[in-house]
């Protein structure tokens, strides 16, 4: 599958509005569909609430709000991208990556494919834009059918870092 010289990386991709985003698949624990989210009033805006994942409580984070956009509207196509915790990453093959100590999930508008991108295809994010949320994007993958913004999972779920 992978060529020896260039490292391929796999990303789980999804849509926020019309824009397509990707996140390193090794940091993803599972994709959840029928989520019932209990709002957590008084928390940061991007914290949309808590959900029950088979007895564990997941904090739902709104990536759209993190990126400076409008809050996610929950609908039938809403999916939750549940990330592995740091402890889970530590015991998986994904050592060296970091997310959060707590179980967190991202609410996204629509889930898309898992793609395989070689390192060469990923460009650094354009440095000239300094809009809110830029530090959350670690790179831009140029594909035949468009552009995928690669999210930095660590920055995504660690609030108060860099913003």
Name the residues that contact another protein, by CB under 8 A: 36, 38-44, 47, 49-52, 54-57, 59, 61, 87, 90, 100-104, 159
Query: Cβ 27 to another protein, closest distance in Å?
Result: 17
How long, in residues, is the chain? 163
How near is the Cβ of 58 to another protein at its closest, in Å? 9
Q: CB-wise, 40 or 114, nearer to another protein?
A: 40
In order, the DSSP letters of 139-158 are: EEEEETTEEEEEE-HHHHHS
Closest separation between CB of residue 159 and another protein, Å?
7
First to last CA, the chain: 39
Of 80 and 122, CB closest to another protein = 80
Residue 6 or 87 having the CB closest to another protein: 87
State the nearest-atom distance from the C-beta of 38 to another protein, in Å. Answer: 4
Residue closer to another protein, measured from CB, 60 or 148: 60
d(CA 23, CA 139): 10
Q: Counting Cβ atoms within 10 Å, is residue 118 exposed (0-12), middle (13-18) or buried (19+)?
A: middle
Comparing CB distances to another protein, the nearer of 6 and 33 is: 33
Supply φ then ψ for residue 62, to 5 degrees. -95, 110
Rounded distance, CA 22 to CA 61, Å?
A: 16
**Shortest Cβ 82–another protein spacing (Å):** 13
């Amino acid at each position: 599958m992978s060529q020896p010289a260039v490292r391929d990386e796999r990303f789980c991709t999804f849509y926020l509005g019309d824009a397509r985003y990707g996140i390193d698949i090794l940091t993803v624990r599972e994709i959840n569909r029928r989520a019932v989210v209990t709002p957590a009033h008084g928390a940061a805006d991007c914290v949309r609430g808590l959900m029950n994942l088979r007895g564990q409580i997941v904090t739902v984070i709104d990536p759209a709000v993190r990126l400076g956009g409008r809050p996610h509207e929950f609908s039938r196509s809403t999916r939750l991208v549940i990330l592995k915790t740091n402890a889970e990453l530590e015991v998986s093959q994904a050592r060296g990556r970091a997310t959060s100590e707590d179980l967190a999930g991202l609410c996204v508008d629509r889930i898309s494919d898992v793609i395989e991108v070689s390192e060469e295809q990923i460009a650094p994010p354009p440095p000239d834009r300094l809009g809110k949320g830029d530090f959350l994007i670690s790179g831009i993958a140029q594909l035949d059918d468009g552009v995928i913004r690669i999210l930095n999972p660590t920055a995504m779920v660690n609030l108060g870092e860099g913003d």
